[in-house]
Amino acid sequence: MSQSDLPRPRRRRRLRTAAGLCVLLALVGYLVVRFESMGGGGAPHCTASDLAGDASGGDSRRTYDMTPEQAANAATIAAVGVARGLPDRAVTIALATAMQESALRNLNHGDRDSLGLFQQRPSQGWGTPEQIRDPVYSAGIFYDRLVQVKGYSRLPLTEAAQKVQLSGYPQAYAKHEPDATVLTAAFAGAGELTCGGPAPTDPGDPQKVQTELTRIFAKAGLHSSPAEPSRTDGRGGAKEPEVTMVEKRDGGEPAVRGSRAIAGWAVANARGMNIVRVSYGQRGWIAGQKKGRWQETGDGKSGGGDPHNAANGEIRIFVKG
């Protein structure tokens, strides 16, 4: 073989590589366009923001990104605190603690016998392993011990958390305070949670949704209509099973903070409980659409907001039929 023949295979390899890259880039471009046209598919993800609106906005809004698992756990921690009537400061302390201890994951392992969101230890009187792995229970017992700390709401966050946790790293909680504050606003204040990803394809269980919410909010005066089974809309089309929640306090007045916590909980748990739509006030959230953002509707149509709901604190949650 002559020397002039040697470069040719290399040129062919370069051409094949370039052609392969072109095909790959074309495929990626097609998938991006397809994703945009579908309005919200792609990998599941959630974003909390401390102000309502488009969480990807370029203003002074602060955001925190999570997986659906982390969002569901954060929503439960916040909801338990709100249901107990505790201030935002208590919710922020609890969220920052769980962010440090487990990264908002319900762990089945830890240092020695530590378990769950807060890495609580059965041997130290926190409960049985089964109880500690229950996010509602573990959040509840954390709050039980937090409120026993005198003046906890005025203490530095890391000091308040340490008095409950007795951690070997007592300064570690402070770094999570900014993000925990964003989460608190998203679930209990003026912020919101957006969750994108494909819409559920498997049927959900409205009774399970109602049971879990009642377990969290029953002692706070939650009123809910019976969970409805799948039914038709009278025109031969199917309608999703629905759960309607209304929280009342102070002589029957709606508790807006509790209603927001319920709505945020529903969106955060949409993937795990096959929830397809949430309606609260004049806003609606639909799984798999608009990149998981809440939409201003105010038209009272299916999946949209109801102009009367903001006044009576009603949240409508629809699961996949």
pLDDT (tens digit per residue) in 77-135: 999 999 999 999 999 999 999 999 999 999 998 788 999 999 999 999 999 999 999 99
Residue 306 has pLDDT above 50, yes or no: no
**DSSP, res 200:** P
Asked whether the beta carbons of 167 and 176 are under 8 A apart, the reply is no
Percent of the chain at pLDDT exceeding 70 = 70
Higher pLDDT, 161 or 222: 161
- The pLDDT score that the predictor gives to residue 241 is 85
Dihedral angle sign, alpha carbons of residues 295, 296, 302, 308: positive
- The pLDDT score that the predictor gives to residue 53 is 67
Paired strand residues for 247: 222
First to last CA, the chain: 70
Q: Mean pLDDT score of the chain, rounded to an integer?
A: 81
- The pLDDT score that the predictor gives to residue 247 is 59
Q: Residue range 46-74: average pLDDT?
A: 85
Weakest-pLDDT range from 122-126, 148-152, 284-288, 314-318: 314-318
∠ CA 205-208-210, rounded to 5°: 110
- The pLDDT score that the predictor gives to residue 236 is 44
Weakest-pLDDT range from 14-23, 164-173, 190-199, 267-276: 14-23
In angstroms, the CA 241 to CA 15 distance is 56
Residue 49 has pLDDT above 60, yes or no: yes
Paired strand residues for 201: none
Residue 235 has pLDDT above 50, yes or no: no
Higher pLDDT, 143 or 51: 143
Paired strand residues for 193: 48
Identify the band that residue 213 occupies on the pLDDT scale cut at 50, 70 and 90: very high
For the stretch 10-39, pLDDT in tens is 555 565 655 556 545 544 443 333 333 334
Percent of the chain at pLDDT exceeding 90 = 57
Q: Give the containing element (helix H, strand E) for 284.
A: strand 283-286
- The pLDDT score that the predictor gives to residue 18 is 57
pTM: 0.80
Q: Residue range 159-174: average pLDDT?
A: 91
For the stretch 257-298, pLDDT in tens is 888 999 999 999 999 999 999 998 888 999 999 999 999 876
